[in-house]
Amino acid sequence: MDVRKILNMTDHTLLRVGCTKKEIADLCEEAVAYHCAAVCVPPGFISYAKECIGGRNNVKVGATAGFPNGYNTPQIKAAEAAEAKENGADEVDMVINVSLVKDREWEKVKEEILLVRAACDGLVLKVILETCLLTEEEKIKLCQIVTECKADYIKTSTGFSSGGATVDDVKLLKEHVGQGVKVKAAGGIRTLEDAQAMIDAGASRVGASSIVKAARESGYRP
């Protein structure tokens, strides 16, 4: 197991309600020290996280839109994405409206993603499906839509619903997503072994709050 490689593919995440400025600062320092891909923080902390990281070790700042339930209107999600860009975010993780999926309103799902894509033009866009709420057919259809919308990543989960990433879901998304779209696994990934399993299944990014701690407890030092 290559711990450094896992860390390089990890979005070090803190989206808990009530997190503090000091916790965000600590998150950023850990991400820099352990060479993580990015931090993912609440919208109100984007500017502060950008300041804390200061461009060190090429760690990116990730923001959220429509998080965690995804039932905001498309215009609100787009506004969140635009503001995130203005505040210095490098990446945006948006949550789709699962109700639209259940009603098979595929064009509306597509329109929503395209609206957010346009609002954060130039940033990395990750589209969160919340796979634990979806059928296999719905997941496959969403792979097609996310590909058509030219998002950069399709992401399994928020980590705030009834389930998180699974190896089977990562494999399914990897198999059906189009060329140029990567897979991010998130939700319930707590150990280095969990992260490695997702990477082996095809994930290019892992979103987790515990991987740096797991690496440190394993004896790894950057």
| Domain range annotation of the chain | 3-217
pLDDT at 136: 98
Q: What percent of the chain has pLDDT over 70?
A: 100
The pLDDT of 180-197, averaged and rounded, is 98
pLDDT band at 165 (very low <50, low <70, confident <90, very high): very high
Segment 14-37, tens digit of pLDDT: 999 999 999 999 999 999 999 999
Query: Which among 107, 110, 154 is positioned nearest to 129, based on CA atoms?
Result: 154
Collapsing DSSP to helix, strand or coil, 85 comes out as helix
Residue 114 neighbours by CB under 8 Å, 6+ apart:
149
The answer to whether the beta carbons of residues 65 and 98 sit under 8 Å apart is no
The pLDDT of 153-158, averaged and rounded, is 98
Using CA atoms, how far residue 89 sits from 122, 162, 195, in Å, is 11, 28, 24
pLDDT band at 129 (very low <50, low <70, confident <90, very high): very high
Residue 103 neighbours by CB under 8 Å, 6+ apart:
none
- Whether the full predicted model's pTM is greater than 0.85, yes or no, is yes
Segment 199-208, tens digit of pLDDT: 999 999 999 9
Cα-trace Rg, the chain: 16
pLDDT band at 64 (very low <50, low <70, confident <90, very high): very high
pLDDT band at 160 (very low <50, low <70, confident <90, very high): very high
| CATH class held by domain 3-217 | alpha beta
pLDDT at 58: 97
Q: What is the set of active-site residues?
A: 93, 155, 184
Distance between CA 158 and CA 94 in Å, rounded? 9
pLDDT band at 155 (very low <50, low <70, confident <90, very high): very high
Residue 25 neighbours by CB under 8 Å, 6+ apart:
48, 52
pLDDT band at 68 (very low <50, low <70, confident <90, very high): very high
Give the mean pLDDT of the chain: 97
